Amino acid sequence: MAQTFDVCIRGAGIAGRTLALLLARERLRVALVVAPPSGGAPDVRAYALNAGSRGVLEALRCWPDEEHATAVTQMQVFGDLDGRVVFDAASQHVDALTWIVDVPALERRLAEAVRYQPMVEVVSEPVAAPLTAICEGRASSTRSEFGVDFSVTPYAQHAIATRLHCEHPHGQVARQWFTADGILALLPLDGPDGHSVAVVWSVAREQADGWLAADAEDFTARLEEISQGALGRLELAAPRMAWPLQQAVASRWCGAMPDGDARSTARSWVLVGDAAHNVHPLAGQGLNLGLGDVQALARILQERGYWRGTQDLRLLRRYERERKAALAPMGLAMDGLQQLFSRPEAPVQVLRNWGMNGFERFGPLKDWMARQAMGLAQRSQA
Ligand SMILES: Cc1cc2nc3c(=O)[nH]c(=O)nc-3n(C[C@H](O)[C@H](O)[C@H](O)COP(=O)(O)OP(=O)(O)OC[C@H]3O[C@@H](n4cnc5c(N)ncnc54)[C@H](O)[C@@H]3O)c2cc1C
């Protein structure tokens, strides 16, 4: 007899694979549609993942080892005048504010776990299932095929990512500089004693090609200048890659399969991760939000009454409401910060640096913000 599935997941990025493993744990039969390998260079990025994301990946035994998931004990954020904000793990009563996770290492762990999970079958084409979860990332073709409006606000910036070897140890500190011509983040890698960092540098779109092609020495000299020598001499340790930046959200996150689809009868679809929303990477929240989606969807499906199928639109709408509510403050905060630091006028510059110093001194607001970013806010409410 042909294999039947409860859920077909289209897209095997981190969100898609995590969802497949969580649903399989609930004894749902999953088809995971994996795109053919692109043959491109390995991802140079490392993601800041919070305690919420760590929790779910650990439960699936997919959390990378200490060398590939560096605990951050302090975050230093510098404005473009004298503004400065410091977040400290000790003052938040946690061991780490976040972890900087090597993307290829995490992807390997997830791929391996999927390989050994008998409830997940890897397929190359979408298959019929009561529920189709679309985890195809920001350029999802299924989302467009299903006629879902994706409202995109492009930023006039590209993010350049790479890795650096640095003269001084990073000391488990994540550092970020807001400057007139971009936002630079240097994120600690290779464990507590590491001498390397992941770079995310958001620069004006027109400058991106120039910095991608620049001599390695000119590139690192500019980063040393912005970072005011905080890590000493910097040396390029990986290729440079760039991503155009945008804020985006889908109008609908779930629905019945379109009529034209041969597999449409009593079947539904749902959007998850970057296929549903994109935020600016300045606070490293995109995948944290995506893994929040994955956990919410898995929990709602797990808690459903025995008479409800995975395609039940009441459940899927509950998921959509819950996750849109979680996205709204994060999207607004990222967009607000990006806009504030893209204004060149001197009074705005003074005001934003004054605001940063005020924020630094105002404990309750700072603590609230830190708990949101650490993914602890929802947990303490739960
Ligand atoms: C420079 C940069 C830095 C970032 N830093 C952070 C950070 O520090 N912390 C954080 O939380 N987030 C960060 N993000 C955001 C993060 O990259 C995304 O939120 C995350 O990758 C989304 O995961 P996803 O699985 O939803 O989508 P994707 O990673 O885009 O994966 C989608 C998958 O679907 C596949 N696919 C696409 N179409 C199809 C199809 N038709 N059929 C089958 N498969 C398909 C793709 O090949 C891919 O494997 C950053 C983003 C950028 C650009």
86: its two tokens: 């410091």
CA of 349 to the centre of ligand 1 (A): 33
| Ranges assigned E (strand) in the chain | 7-10, 30-33, 46-49, 69-72, 74-78, 84-88, 98-102, 120-123, 131-134, 150-166, 173-179, 182-189, 196-204, 234-236, 241-250, 254-256, 268-271, 277-278
CA of 80 to the centre of ligand 1 (A): 30
Residue 194, φ and ψ in degrees, nearest 5: -65, 155
Q: Which atom of ligand 1 is nearest to the CA of 273?
A: 26
Q: Which atom of ligand 1 is nearest to the CA of 47?
A: 8
Residue 375 Cβ inside 6 Å of ligand 1? The answer reads: no
CA of 13 to the centre of ligand 1 (A): 6
Strand order in the sheet with 69-72: 46-49, 98-102, 69-72
Q: What is the pLDDT of residue 361?
A: 67
CA 7 centroid distance within chain = 23
Q: Are 77 and 84 in contact (CB under 8 A)?
A: yes
Taking the CA atoms of residue 41, residue 72, residue 212 and residue 44 in that order, the dihedral angle to the nearest 10 degrees is 0
From 14, 47, 142, 162, mutation site for ligand 1 pocket: most ligand atoms within 8 A of C-beta: 47
Q: Are 75 and 124 in contact (CB under 8 A)?
A: no
**Whole-prediction pTM:** 0.92
Q: Whose Cα sits closest to atom 3 in ligand 1?
A: 281
CA of 66 to the centre of ligand 1 (A): 23
Q: What is the pLDDT of residue 240?
A: 97
Instruction: Report which of 173, 171, 197 is spatially closest to residue 186, judged by C-alpha positions.
Output: 197
Q: What is the pLDDT of residue 37?
A: 82
Measure the CA–CA gap between 128 and 267, rounded to whole angstroms: 9
Q: What is the pLDDT of residue 82?
A: 76
Residue 72 Cβ inside 6 Å of ligand 1? The answer reads: no
319: its two tokens: 């998921």
- 3-state DSSP assignment of residue 7: strand
CA of 77 to the centre of ligand 1 (A): 25
Residue 287 Cβ inside 6 Å of ligand 1? The answer reads: yes
Q: What is the pLDDT of residue 313?
A: 96
pLDDT tens per residue across all 382 residues of the chain: 456 999 999 999 999 999 999 999 999 999 999 998 887 888 999 999 999 999 999 999 999 999 999 999 999 989 877 777 888 899 888 999 999 999 999 999 999 999 999 999 999 999 999 999 999 999 999 999 999 999 999 989 999 999 999 999 999 999 999 888 789 999 999 999 999 999 999 999 999 999 999 999 999 999 999 999 999 999 999 999 999 999 999 999 999 988 655 454 579 999 999 999 999 887 788 999 999 999 999 999 999 988 899 999 999 999 999 999 998 776 666 666 666 666 667 766 776 777 776 767 666 666 776 776 676 665 444 3
Residue 294 Cβ inside 6 Å of ligand 1? The answer reads: no
Q: What is the pLDDT of residue 380?
A: 43
Q: What is the pLDDT of residue 101?
A: 98
Residue 202, φ and ψ in degrees, nearest 5: -90, 115
Q: What is the pLDDT of residue 142?
A: 97
Q: What is the pLDDT of residue 260?
A: 55
Residue 371 Cβ inside 6 Å of ligand 1? The answer reads: no
CA of 187 to the centre of ligand 1 (A): 19
Q: Which atom of ligand 1 is nearest to the CA of 200?
A: 1
10: its two tokens: 């289209």
Read out DSSP for 175-233? Answer: EEEEETTEEEEEEEESSTT--EEEEEEEEEHHHHHHHHHS-HHHHHHHHHHHTTTTT-S
235: its two tokens: 């040396």
Measure the CA–CA gap between 17 and 22, rounded to whole angstroms: 9
Q: What is the pLDDT of residue 315?
A: 96
Residue 334 Cβ inside 6 Å of ligand 1? The answer reads: no
Q: What is the pLDDT of residue 41?
A: 83
Residue 47 Cβ inside 6 Å of ligand 1? The answer reads: yes
Residue 292 Cβ inside 6 Å of ligand 1? The answer reads: no
Q: What is the pLDDT of residue 334?
A: 64
